[in-house]
Amino acid sequence: MPKSLTDTTKLHNGVEMPWFGLGVFKVKEGSEVIESVKAALKHGYRSIDTAAVYKNEEGVGQAIRESGVPREEIFVTSKVWNSDQGYETTLQAYETSLKKLGLDYLDLYLIHWPGKDKFKETWKALETLYKEGRVRAIGVSNFHIHHLEELLKDAEIKPMVNQVEYHPHLTQKDLLAFCQQEGIQLEAWSPLKAGKLLDEPTISEIAEKYGKTTAQVILRWDLQNKVVTIPKSIKEQRIIENAEIFDFELTAEDMEKLNGLNKDERTGSNPDEFMVGFTE
């Protein structure tokens, strides 16, 4: 089990990825994203997750440069957006993201959504970037088991990561088992269900027992299920608090209680219904 904020999981290609990071979805470009990324890096975070469609890659890059933390110590993720899917367009999208971030390489590049029929071409582009040493690891986001099975039929390189909506109301047990069996690291976006889980009575009760916040209990549950997690916050105090989860361990019984809260309920879109061409 991870013992500190800098602890990593080894992806199937040997690259070390922090178990815990900062997500910047819906964090405004400019001072908001710059300050939140700098706060996270100042307090020991070493993983930052952005995406082309978040329109804040420039601010993320600026924060990294101003943080004083050496680039090679930071694990940076971005994602190719739906409208850029396809072989050539993905290669171009990667260059655009790098340019905006002001970086020479990414640590992880993901296909943001499976979309309808282009993700295999898109994956070929990611394989090219990986083989050329332009990116340290490649993966997917929002892929169901059937998308992964389809991708694996022709893939030369297996995705290293699958980043999906994951929280106690959406435990995705079969997907987690499938990814673990295939050596694909599952990563949680919206681990707190956009704040909707913070008043869940069962979680509050467990939190009280450990003297922790409901958010800390949920994030700890992620890690004990061997899921990488990237909670988002723009408040420095909350950024610090979210990461204070390495000094306690949930019992097997409490883990079961949390697993039992599943409702198959999403805060985001269902990947099967979210098709290429959307702009948001």
Q: Is the pLDDT of residue 280 over 50?
A: no
Q: What confidence category does residue 277 fall into, taking pLDDT thresholds of 50, 70 and 90?
A: very low
Mean pLDDT, the chain, integer: 95
Q: Is 54 a catalytic residue?
A: yes
- Supply the pTM of this predicted model: 0.96
The per-residue pLDDT for 279 is: 42
% residues pLDDT > 90 (the chain): 91
Architecture of domain 8-200+225-243: Alpha-Beta Barrel (3.20)
Q: Is the pLDDT of residue 39 over 70?
A: yes
Q: What confidence category does residue 26 fall into, taking pLDDT thresholds of 50, 70 and 90?
A: confident
- In sequence order, what are the residues at sequence separation of 6 or more whose Cβ sits closer than 8 angstroms to the Cβ of residue 222? 166, 188, 191, 228, 229
The per-residue pLDDT for 275 is: 64
Q: Is the pLDDT of residue 136 over 80?
A: yes
pLDDT in tens, 158-190: 999 999 999 999 999 999 999 999 999 999 999
Strand pairing of 47-49 and 75-80?
parallel
Length of the chain: 280
Which residue among 45, 54, 94, 166 is the active-site one?
A: 54
- Nearest Cα to 215, choosing from 228, 204, 226? 204
Eight-class DSSP state of 24: -
% residues pLDDT > 70 (the chain): 98
Q: Is the pLDDT of residue 42 over 80?
A: yes
Min mean pLDDT across 45-49, 50-54, 74-78 is at: 50-54
